[in-house]
Each structure stands twice: as structure tokens, then as C-alpha cells.
Amino acid sequence: MQITDKLTGAEETARQFVYMDKAKEYVERLAAKLERRPTCCVTTFGCQMNARDSEKLAGILERAGYELTENEEADFVIYNTCTVRDNANQRVYGRLGHLGSMKKKNPHKKIALCGCMMQEPAVIEKLQKSYRFVDLIFGTHNIYKFAELLVQMFEADGMVVDIWEDTDQIVEDLPIERKYPFKSGINIMFGCNNFCSYCIVPYVRGRERSRNPEDILREIRALVDDGVVEIMLLGQNVNSYGKNLEHPMSFAQLLREVEKIEGLKRIRFMTSHPKDLSDELIEVMKQSTKICRHLHLPLQSGSTRILKAMNRKYTREDYLALAARLRKEIPDLAITTDIIVGFPGEEPCDVDDTIDVVKQVQYDNAFTFIYSKRTGTPAAAMENQVPGEVVKEGFDRLLKVVQDTARERVALLKGQTLDALVEEVNEQDDSLLTGRLSNNTIVHFKGDRSLIGEIVPVYLKECHGFYYLGELVR
Ligand code: 5AD
Ligand code: SF4
């Protein structure tokens, strides 16, 4: 049922706040029974977009009276799932089994599942059949209704399932609990219209919808007032931002407006589709003092024949020309990428083509994936699926080149002093801080934890493969 789609965004927001108060009554009753504040844990699988969604879930849970923890022993555990590749799904099933055993010992424990994987009918069937202990299941399109769903869960006897096929609704101004006080992701658009033939995202995240620029800018200003210095603008394909707005605007224009926000120090964005990357964007990046020197530009394959079958709408030559233009215009730019090996019909010579592009572009980092067949996508129905051992051979060959190239690229920074945003105390050695350079490279250096959230100059002393050991320059 999608009756709520008839409300305006603002009316829907108000409605959800009423449900938050109602959910709070249930949480208070539980607290009285337990004689302590109930805890909840939001576990995120997948991309930055999911991480941001989890912050929205956490915001509502906190408001409803839960204490947030990272421990899955919590009274309420919610998995925000990903389904881009099958191994993500398998991980969820594995860990869910474990949650089920915990629930046997602690019957008041509640378990909820949401995110991309829940948009697949076969998944819901499996959960309804074999994972009856799950209390609440919802999808990507009705996440803004989480408060209302929480109340339904408290009032229901069995499993509550609410999945929508699509939505055109964007609901603003719901509470958000940020993971980091000094940096934040911001959704600028939802969904994807590209239908790359291997990809399930357009089916589970729906059609492309851009947020109004005023809403985005207002959110960023509020974040900056709250101490945020670095933002990441999020969308499946940020380069096509604004096309479906009432008053269309380009992504480059949006960036120009974001740049003007006083107090904001760094701007990142993710992800760019090569086919939509404009000269205007390159120009804006070049002139900007805030846009970070990092571009994630998924290649997927370096073979024009495979790119065509993938429905990527660019050729190997188009991509190489674009990368050359970026290198010429912004010499200190780090370029990273995603590559898939084993797409149906791929031959060793296609992998050679991909390797050749990696060598020419000189990526600072590349995420390499083995093709995963996703039910319902055009590629899943292709007959020429590649045998596992052939995929493995191509994957290993590619990975070696990717790692060697990335090491060489990262080593080029040695001896420079560059600004790093201090993000946390190092996990292995608490005398060290971990910072991130504008180009996304990580550097560890001695320093006091009071520097967390600051941008400080660091001398890049020793290169250790993909990261640096450095020294704080005062
Ligand atoms: N198999 C393997 N990798 C995939 N990706 C998307 N769909 C698939 C799939 N079916 C990869 C792409 C994308 C990244 C987020 O995940 O490289 O850029
Ligand atoms: Fe998937 Fe292609 Fe859309 Fe990226 S651009 S989410 S790979 S369909």
C-alpha cells in the first residue's frame, strides 16, 4: 500500500514525528521491564549510500529512546543490506542465523532487515519460509517510514513485511545520527536510470530522482553549523544530477553553489559515470579550492565489445580520452575505479584490454570484482557465462597489475607535505592518528586525539604500499 505517497513531503515528515513519539512509549515500557535503557545496533552492508541510510535509521532509533551500540547482542538489531553481488547476500544469511540463535536465548530481542536485498521477491520468500524469527522487513523506497514501521512491529504478533516497488517521494528533515561529527555524506539523488546490463541497482533503488538544490544546500549549511568540515555528495550517478528537477541544473552548477558555503572545507562526491562527465565539471573541479583531488570513475571493462554488452555507452577510447583530459587539466588528481572480471562473453583478450587501460590511466586504487549473476538483469540471461577457472585466471592477472600500479602512484607523494583531515585514533596503535589526504590516501602519524576533526599538514615520510607513515608539521 502506498497511500502515504499522496501526502506532501512536509506532511509525511510531520506524520513520522508522531510515530517517533509513539515508538518512544513502547521503548519506555521495555526499559521499565528491563530496568535499563534498551540498546540497538544498526549494521551496514554495502556502499556509502547505505551507510547514510543507516545514519537515518540510527537517528530515528535514538529519538525513540534506544541507546546505540555496535554490539549485535543488542535488544534490537537491524541489518541494512546490499545485493549488488551475491556474496553480500550470503553474508547476510550467515550472520542472520547467528542472530536467530541469540534470539532463542533472549526472546525479547527484535530483528529487522532493510535495504537493497529486501527489494528482491525471492529473498522475501526465503525469509518468510526459513527465517520466521525476523520481526520487521522493509525496503529501500519506504525507509522514511521507519518510525511508523517500528510502531507496527511493536504492535504485531508476527513478522511485519512492507516492501514497495517504487516511489517518487523524497521526505526531508527526519532525524539523522552521524557516525562522524566532522564529516558527512549527503544524498543529492536517489536511484539510477542507466541499466548497465549486469547491475541490479536500478531494480532495487528505482528511477533517478534528484533532491532540490535548496534542500541540499540547507542540509549542508546545517551540518557545517554543527561542526562538519568535509561532505560527500552521494548518488549512483552524480553527473546526471538535476536533469529531472522542475528547474533543471547541472551537477557542476550544484558544486559551484556548495563551494560558496562558508566554513565548509572539503567536498567529495561519488559516483561518476564516465558517459556523463562534462567539461563544465572538470572546469569547476580545476578552479575549486574545496573539491578534493579524487575522482572515482568506474571503468568496469577496458574492452569496447564488453562495454557495449554491459550497456555502458562509452568505448575504451572515450574513457582513455576522458582520463587523459583529467590528467592534463588536474595533474594532482587521484583517479580510482571499479572493474568487473568475468562478464558473460569475456575472453582473455578482453582482460588484456582492461589491463592495458589500467596501465595507461595509472589508477591510485581500483576495486576489482568477479562478475556476479543477478536475477532479473539482462546479463543473467546471457548464454555465454564464463567458467569459474577462466574468470579466476583473468582476475588474478588484473589484480597484480592494479596493485603494482596503485603502489607506484601512491609512492609519488613521498616527501611532500599535504593537508590531512584527522579522522580517528589508529586502530592498531593508539599513539598514532589516522588522517585522509585530499586525494583520499591514508596517512598515520603521531599526534594527540584532540586533533580529530582538524585539517593538519603532514609530512609524508614512508610509503607502505597503499598508505603513508608521516609526521605532523607544526
Ligand atoms: N557483479 C560484479 N560486480 C558488480 N558491480 C555491480 N554489479 C555487479 C555484478 N553483478 C560492481 C560495479 C560497480 C560496483 C559498485 O559494483 O563495478 O561499479
Ligand atoms: Fe549500476 Fe550502472 Fe547504475 Fe552504477 S550506473 S548503479 S553500475 S546501473
**How does pLDDT run across 301-349, given as a tens digit for each residue?**
999 999 999 999 999 999 999 999 999 999 999 999 999 999 999 999 9
Grid cell locating 17: 514525528
What is the rounded average pLDDT for all residues in the chain? 95
CA dist list (Å): 261 to 218, 228, 264: 10, 12, 6
How much is the pLDDT for 1?
44
CA nearest to 295, candidates 271, 316, 319, 279: 271
pLDDT in tens, 130-139: 999 999 999 9
In the three-class reduction of DSSP (H, G, I as helix; E, B as strand; rest coil), residue 245 is classed as coil
pTM of the model: 0.94
Separation of 165 CA from ligand 1 center, angstroms? 22
Task: Please tell me the predicted confidence (pLDDT) of residue 167.
Answer: 84
**34-62 pLDDT, tens per residue?**
999 999 999 999 999 999 999 999 999 99
Please tell me if the CB atom of residue 199 comes closer than 6 angstroms to any atom of ligand 1. Answer: yes
63: CA distance to ligand 2 center in Å? 34
Of 9-13, 25-29, 115-119, 198-202, which gets the smallest average pLDDT? 9-13
- Is ligand 2 within 6 A of the CB of residue 237? yes
pLDDT at 107 over 90: no
**Which of 329, 365, 334 has its CA nearest to residue 437?**
334
**Ligand 1: nearest atom to the Cα of 379:** 10
Can you tell me the distance from the alpha carbon of 149 to that of 284, in angstroms, rounded to the nearest whole number?
42
Per-residue pLDDT band at 5 (split at 50, 70, 90): low
The pLDDT assigned to 168 comes to 81
Hey, whose CA ends up nearest to atom 18 of ligand 1? 338
**42 CA from centroid of ligand 2 (Å):** 26
Q: Is the CB of 84 under 6 A from ligand 2?
A: no
Atom of ligand 2 nearest to the CA of 84: 1
- pLDDT value at position 287? 97
pLDDT, tens only, 463-474: 998 999 999 998
- β-strands 189-190, 294-296 pairing: unpaired
Q: What is the pLDDT of residue 172?
A: 82
Mutate to test the pocket of ligand 1, among 47, 198, 346 (most ligand atoms within 8 A of CB): 198
> pLDDT digit string (tens) for 413-450?
999 999 999 999 998 999 999 999 999 999 999 999 99
Q: Poorest-confidence range of 107-116, 168-177, 285-294?
A: 168-177
Percent of all residues in the chain with a pLDDT value above 70, rounded to a whole number? 99
For a mutational test of ligand 1's pocket, the pick from 197, 338, 370, i.e. the residue with the most ligand atoms closer than 8 A to its C-beta, is 338
Q: Is the CB of 368 under 6 A from ligand 1?
A: no
Identify the pLDDT of residue 474.
Answer: 81
Write the burial class of residue 431 (CB in 10 Å: 0-12 exposed, 13-18 middle, 19+ buried): exposed
pLDDT confidence of 4, banded at 50, 70, 90? very low
Does residue 238's CB lie within 6 angstroms of at least one atom of ligand 2? no
The answer, yes or no, to whether residue 2 has pLDDT greater than 60, is: no
Residue 162 has pLDDT above 90, yes or no: yes
Each residue of 263-272: pLDDT tens digit?
Answer: 999 999 999 9
